[in-house]
Amino acid sequence: MARFAVVGGGITGLTAAHTLAAAGADVVVHDAAPTAGGKIRTSPFGGIPIDEAADAFLIRTPEVLDLVAELGLDDQLVHPTGAGAAVWHEGLHRIPTGLVLGVPGDLRPLLRSGLISPRGVLRAGLDLVLPRSDLAGDSIGTYVRQRLGRQVHERLVDALVGSIYAADTDRFSLAEVPQLSALAHRHRSLLLAARATRRAAVSGGPRGAQEHERPIFAGLRDGTGVLVEALAASVTSSGGELRTGAAVGSVTASGGSLRVDGEPVDGVVLAAPARATAPLLAESAPAAAELLAHVHHVDVVMVCLRLPAADWPERLHGLSGYLVPKPHQRLVTAASFGSQKWAHWRPGDGSQVVRVSLGRDGLPVDHLDDDAAVTAAVDELGRHLDLAVRPIEVRVTRWAAAFPQYRPYHRAWVDAVRAALPAGVVAGGASFDGIGIPACVRQGRQLAESLLERARP
Ligand SMILES: Cc1cc2nc3c(=O)[nH]c(=O)nc-3n(C[C@H](O)[C@H](O)[C@H](O)COP(=O)(O)OP(=O)(O)OC[C@H]3O[C@@H](n4cnc5c(N)ncnc54)[C@H](O)[C@@H]3O)c2cc1C
């Protein structure tokens, strides 16, 4: 029986291990942390399971839904309520519907929202007559500003994409955000590309269903943590081994044989963050180690607050949260009104769960202790919402080195790393081919399948 090691028990590594174990291989998952799951964790808050990081995953593609079904978790699937989000710009402005990752297909709703000034809307309209943009710079910020102007970039695209990836979109690869990249390639005009994409989405839906009725996100009733728990259980019940609190120190390759911390294996899945993986390869693949060491990972802090029902004003009902554009950011980048976004996040006493995100690329938070993070979250939330924020429960989760930053030409970096790995060693996860849960699940499957393929006689 082929024997494989998986380094990193996040969603990528666990999906790879689950796939390998289900195929009958002998698998050991090594994770440095006391529990597996990586950046996916759920814990009780207000008496109900509330996610400490990822709470939703895209279901436009089937990866996660297939895995959920395979693990027998179908009855856990839930969808957001449909409450809309806002952007804070000297007050809350509802984001108009029909945008494609912040890119409008129609300028009239933008004007009505008050978020973009008439001058900003006129500037965005220039996109219709501007010649095709050169995409060679591979920067989201440069491209979107060139097409639609500064206001649409700052207040919509950077606010939205920056909050998903904790990124500064001026330094983030356009090619690595598939929806934006598809728009950029679809048409000379970004507005017309967004309009066509939206029309296709509406007409391509199930018969009779309005686009807004079809959820594009899902979550799990007991939290996304159940996904990684079920994966870990599947690995061990198929005979695999899960070693936690077990940081791997080296992956060596000599004379065609691979070893993980001295133990011989037939193949290795590297699924830890890039920077953590670099030292493991210092001896066996120094060129890959050098490339991995240069990835920039951003720290974020998630402050979860529970606010009394009586303090939550009517005007915030039906709003899922808001984004803070870069020029207005102090430490808070976004707030998610969890109890408005999810029907299952409503504590019995009617209190409101609000998750406040601090930090992004260029906005460091590592100097904050927990008290300072809570103070910043409470003060900024209060100022943005014009509200006395008096939490009855608080939870702080620090996610160090959480978000790898895909700099322009990230794809060339990925190809160079993979080309420099020893035979039988494969690498993936959030640092490589997509940060969201679906992309990590897809990578986990592909990494496992490539090793199984190689091991076939
Ligand atoms: C705050 C936050 C909110 C998010 N929200 C969403 C969301 O709503 N939707 C969504 O789709 N995605 C979201 N994401 C992104 C997504 O959750 C992550 O990108 C994904 O979970 C990363 O999985 P991974 O397997 O690549 O790596 P990780 O989860 O980083 O796992 C890597 C593992 O490697 C281990 N490790 C490190 N070094 C070693 C070593 N030397 N030896 C052994 N093990 C090692 C670590 O302990 C860790 O468990 C969010 C992320 C964060 C931080």
pLDDT digits (tens, 9 = 90+) for 364-397: 999 999 999 999 999 999 999 999 999 999 999 9
Give the atom of ligand 1 at the shortest distance from the alpha carbon of 58: 11
Contact 94/84 with Cβ under 8 angstroms?
yes
- Tens of pLDDT, residue by residue over 24-57, are 999 999 999 999 999 999 999 999 999 999 999 9
Q: 265 φ, ψ to 5°?
A: -140, 165
**CA 88 to chain CA mean position, Å:** 22
Tokens of 417: 């790393």
- Tens of pLDDT, residue by residue over 109-144, are 999 999 999 999 999 999 999 999 999 999 999 999
Tokens of 30: 């090594």
Residue 102: partners with Cβ closer than 8 Å, 6 or more residues away: 152, 156, 157, 158, 159, 160, 161
d(CA 196, CA 105): 8
pLDDT at 447 over 80: yes
Which of these, 358, 360, 356, lies nearest to 403 by C-alpha position?
360
d(CA 316, CA 267): 52
With a pLDDT cut of 70, the percent of the chain lying above it is: 98
- Tens of pLDDT, residue by residue over 156-205, are 999 999 999 999 999 999 999 999 999 999 999 999 999 999 888 776 55
d(CA 414, CA 388): 47
DSSP code of residue 224: T
pTM of the model: 0.96
Give the atom of ligand 1 at the shortest distance from the alpha carbon of 13: 25
Which of these, 396, 320, 386, 398, lies nearest to 352 by C-alpha position?
320
Cα(120) to ligand 1 centroid in Å equals 38
**Which bin fits 264, alpha (ψ -120 to 50), beta or left (φ > 0)?**
beta
Cα(217) to ligand 1 centroid in Å equals 19
Mutate to test the pocket of ligand 1, among 6, 39, 59, 68 (most ligand atoms within 8 A of CB): 39
**Which bin fits 8, alpha (ψ -120 to 50), beta or left (φ > 0)?**
left
What domains appear along the chain, each with residue ranges and CATH number? 3-42+222-295+406-455 (3.50.50.60), 97-206 (1.10.3110.10), 297-404 (3.90.660.20)
Cα(12) to ligand 1 centroid in Å equals 8
> With a 6 A CB cut-off, is 336 part of the ligand 1 pocket?
no
Contact 145/123 with Cβ under 8 angstroms?
no
Tokens of 36: 């597996």
> With a 6 A CB cut-off, is 437 part of the ligand 1 pocket?
yes
Sheet of 257-260, strands arranged across: 251-254, 257-260, 263-265
**CA 384 to chain CA mean position, Å:** 24
Cα(51) to ligand 1 centroid in Å equals 13
Once rounded to an integer, what is the mean pLDDT over residues 315-339?
Answer: 98
